[in-house]
Amino acid sequence: MKPVVIFRHVAVEGPGYLATFLDAHGIPWQLIKIDEGDAIPESISVFSGMVLMGGPMSVNDDLPWIMPVLDLIREAVVADVPVLGHCLGGQLISKALGGVVTQNSIKEIGWGEVTVSPNATAHHWFGDMESFNGFHWHGETFSLPEGATHLLAKHCQNQAYAIGKHLAFPVYRDDSGNGSGMVRCRC
């Protein structure tokens, strides 16, 4: 089985529970530590999935790894390799697929209720939930790329979207109550 590639942009924003889940299900994974200068893979063809974690930077920052990652995201979508983006990862997916990342009208910091969109795709991802409490720490927002279906909203209208099997979101949900795995994001 091909591994899932996980991109970490800062040391405190690693795969966390996702790694535990993948390990428990016998799914191999490979961590690319952008923050430590790991090389960006040249092709998505050796991976079964792509996960992009968060970070305090913006997809609009002039960083040398952004363009190669955007290219890899586009390659993954064309090859039908699932892509999951959290926070900065959601920004990266949006920009790679033609969306625009801009400042949100307000910064969302702290716990707050998000509303699940009333559509079949949102129901697929969130079941019968109409809303849930999520942790937010972002000042930017993204537009929905062409073909995206809106999933979640709060003060930041575009909290999450899906394009087929690809999912992008900046909100963090922590059912454990301990808040572990949170990081400040400009997403």
pLDDT tens digits for 35-90? 999 999 999 999 999 999 988 888 888 999 999 999 999 999 999 999 999 888 88
Domains, in order of start, for the chain:
4-169 (3.40.50.880)
The whole-angstrom distance between residue 13's C-alpha and the CA centroid of its chain comes to 12
* CB-count exposure of residue 110 (10 Å: 0-12, 13-18, 19+): exposed
CB neighbour burial string for 68-104, b if at least 16 within 10 angstroms, e if fewer: ebbebbbbbbeeebbbbbbbbbbbbbbbbbebebeeb
Q: Checking DSSP bridges between strand 101-116 and strand 149-153, what pairing results, if any?
A: antiparallel
According to the model, what pLDDT value does residue 36 have?
96
Taking only the tens place, the pLDDT of each residue in 116-166 is: 889 999 898 889 988 888 776 666 777 788 988 888 877 667 778 889 899
